[in-house]
Structure 1
Amino acid sequence: MTNSYRLRICDLPATERPRERLLQQGVTALGTGELLAILLGTGSGKLSAVGLGQYLLQELGRHQQDALAVLREIKPAELMTLPGIGPAKATTILAAIELGKRVFLSRPLERTPIDSPELAVMALAPDLMWAETERFALLLLDVKHRLLGSRVLTIGTVTETLAHPREIFREAIRLGATRLIVGHNHPSGNVTPSTADLELTGQLLQCSKILDIPVLDHLILGQGNHCSLRSSTRLWEGYESLC
Structure 2
Amino acid sequence: MNLHYKPNIPITTWAEEDRPREKLLLHGRRALSDAELIAILIGTGNRNESAVDLSKRILHNFQNDLGVLARLSVQELSKFKGIGEAKAITIMAALELGRRRKETENGRVTKITCSKDAYELLRPVFEDLTHEEFWMLILNKANKVVGKNLVSKGGWASTVCDPKVVFKTALEYNAAGVIVAHNHPSGNLTPSDADIGLTGRLVSGGRLLDLPIFDHLIFGDGCYYSFADEGKMPGMR
TM-score bin (small chain): 0.5 to 0.7
Which residue is equivalent to 2:50? 48
Instruction: Report the 3-state secondary structure (helix = DSSP H, G, I; strand = E; otherwise coil) of the residue aligned with 2:218.
Output: strand
Which residue is equivalent to 2:174? 176
Q: Distance in 2 between matches of 1:58 and 1:202?
A: 45
Moved more, 104-113 or 133-142: 104-113
Could you state the TM-score of these two structures normalised by the residue count of structure 2? 0.67
Structure-2 change in CA distance of 1:199 and 1:31 (3 Å): farther
Instruction: Report the 3-state secondary structure (helix = DSSP H, G, I; strand = E; otherwise coil) of the residue aligned with 2:158.
Output: coil
Q: Distance in 1 between matches of 2:186 and 2:36?
A: 25
Could you state the TM-score of these two structures normalised by the residue count of structure 1? 0.66
Structure-2 change in CA distance of 1:50 and 1:232 (3 Å): farther
Which residue is equivalent to 2:4? none
Unaligned runs of 5+ in 2: 1-6
Determine if contact 1:137/1:153 at 8 Å carries over to the other structure: yes
Q: Distance in 1 between matches of 2:49 and 2:196?
A: 51
Q: CA deviation at 1:54?
A: 1.6
* Residue 153 of structure 1, aligned match among 151, 154, 162: 151
Which residue is equivalent to 1:39? 41
Q: CA deviation at 1:229?
A: 0.6
Q: Distance in 1 between matches of 2:228 and 2:37?
A: 35
**Cα RMSD between the aligned structures?**
4.4
Determine if contact 1:113/1:146 at 8 Å carries over to the other structure: yes
Q: CA deviation at 1:23?
A: 6.6
Unaligned runs of 5+ in 1: none
Determine if contact 1:9/1:49 at 8 Å carries over to the other structure: no
For residues 1-243 of structure 1, the aligned pairs below 5 Å read 7-8=10-11, 11=14, 14=17, 20=23, 24=27, 27=30, 31-59=33-61, 61=62, 68-69=66-67, 71-86=69-84, 89-107=87-105, 109=107, 112-117=110-115, 119-121=117-119, 124=122, 128-163=126-161, 168-169=166-167, 171-173=169-171, 175-186=173-184, 188=185, 190=187, 192-196=189-193, 197-198=195-196, 200-201=198-199, 204=202, 212-221=210-219, 225-229=222-226, 233-235=230-232, 239=236
Q: CA deviation at 1:138?
A: 1.9
**Identity %, equivalent residues:** 31
- The amino acid that maps onto 2:34 is T
Q: CA offsets per residue over residues 177-224 of structure 1, 9 Å max, x none?
A: 1111111122x25151323335544665566667654333322346x7
How many residue pairs end up in the alignment? 230
Structure-2 change in CA distance of 1:95 and 1:144 (3 Å): same
Instruction: Report the 3-state secondary structure (helix = DSSP H, G, I; strand = E; otherwise coil) of the residue aligned with 1:180.
Output: strand
Instruction: Report the 3-state secondary structure (helix = DSSP H, G, I; strand = E; otherwise coil) of the residue aligned with 2:41.
Output: helix
